[in-house]
Amino acid sequence: MKPVPFAYHRPASLDEALALMERYGADGRVLAGGQSLVPALNMRLAAPAALIDINRLPGLDGISLEPEGLVIGALARHEAVEASPLVARHAPLIAQAMPHVGHRAIRTRGTVGGTVALADPAAELPACLVALDAIVRVTGRGSRRDIPVQRFFRGIYTTDLAPGEIVTAVVALPIGPGWRSRFTELARRHGDYALVGLAAHCRVEGGVIREARLAFCGVGATPVRASRAEATLSGRRPDADVVAEAGRALDADLDPPGDVHASPALRRHLARVLLARAVAQIVT
């Protein structure tokens, strides 16, 4: 199918983009990588009166280490994040997740800002950001907010973004001493959205897990922290019994949906498989 006709704007500055968003209100849509919005236009699931293409806004695609943390600009493409030495060093969890996002021809276009603004419950990056306690930085006309991710993701395709606001960056604290990360997921085919994915971020000391942060994607409306499994692992040496106990704790942490891709029971099972794999990789 072909999209319904729309007007196209390519603002050259953030101010101009925000003014256009104000002008069009709910009839305007921001166009970033277009890897989710353009399919929706093609299938006429979305029919905005105007697109506001932010791809050429200057300075929004940078990745840099700042006093407040690792700042990844909203227009950084998945591919650039995957290749960034800064991300590999300071947020290895995010670097590990990137190859799982779609296919290369998608990652050359898809952006960090678009992924968080979309808030797909199966997406990898939001789970990583939750595990890392990151911040989503947004700008509106005359306002700027730093929103903790846990508050940013509110439901399926639903965020804390107010009308007229643009995501400009995500900010993660650089990984601290002793912390280790592992992103794993299970999908039926490479490049498909995950049936279940796990962003695991743990502080390990002499083979003992001191702190554990586990965020799952694909098992709920937003990324889900597995607090009971985290508590089960914390302060312990993760031998087979401890990992099995943490796996059982997941049953209370997760209430996964069933759909054409997998039943709730299969998703629970896969979550336990991923937990065991991630823990093994983190402590060895």
Partner 1 sequence: MDLAIQISLTVNGVAVSRRVEPRQSLVDFLRYGLELTGSHVGCEHGVCGACTVRVDGAIARGCLMLAVQCDGCRVETIEGVAGTGEVFDLQQAFAQENALQCGFCTPGMLLTAQDLLARKPAASAQEIREALSGNYCRCTGYHAIVEAVRKTAEARGRA
Ligand X SMILES: Cc1cc2nc3c(=O)[nH]c(=O)nc-3n(C[C@H](O)[C@H](O)[C@H](O)COP(=O)(O)OP(=O)(O)OC[C@H]3O[C@@H](n4cnc5c(N)ncnc54)[C@H](O)[C@@H]3O)c2cc1C
Dist. CA 131–CA 226, nearest whole Å: 10
Residue 12 near partner 1 by CB under 8 A: no
Q: How far is the CB of 89 from partner 1 (least distance, A)?
A: 21
Residue 245 binds which entry of ligand X, partner 1, none, CB below 5-8 Å type-dependent = none
- Across the chain, the runs of DSSP E, i.e. the strands, are 7-9, 28-31, 50-53, 63-66, 69-73, 135-140, 143-148, 153-155, 158-159, 166-172, 179-186, 196-205, 208-217, 224-225
Contacting partner 1 (CB under 8 A), which of 73, 102, 197, 218?
Answer: 102
The residue among 138 and 186 lying less far from partner 1, judged by its C-beta, is 186
Tokens representing 112? 């960090």
Nearest Cα neighbor of 55 from 35, 26, 70 is 35
Q: Does 147 bind ligand X (CB under 6 A)?
A: no
Give the one entry of partner 1, ligand X, none that residue 179 binds, where binding means its C-beta sits below a cut-off of 5 to 8 angstroms depending on kind: none
The residue (of 70 and 123) whose beta carbon lies closer to ligand X is: 123
- Give yes or no for residue 37 binding ligand X (CB under 6 A): yes
Q: Which of 113, 223, 238, 256 binds ligand X (CB under 6 A)?
A: 113
> Measured between alpha carbons, how far is 282 from 203 in angstroms, rounded to an integer?
9
Angstrom distance (rounded) from CA 282 to CA 150: 24
| Contact window for partner 1 (CB under 8 A) among 15-23, 105-113, 131-139, 160-168 | 105-113
C-alpha span between 102 and 107 (Å, rounded): 7
Q: Is 190 in the site for partner 1 (CB under 8 A)?
A: yes
Of residues 33 and 223, the one with the C-beta less far from partner 1: 33
The 10 Å Cβ neighbour count of residue 111 is: 28
Of 44 and 237, the one with the shorter C-beta distance to partner 1 is 44
At 48, give phi and psi (nearest 5°).
-70, 155
With CB under 8 A as the contact rule, the residue among 23, 89, 104, 154 that binds partner 1 is 104
> Rule CB under 6 A: which residues touch ligand X?
29-37, 39, 74, 101-102, 106, 110-111, 113-115, 117-118, 120, 123-125, 166-167, 193
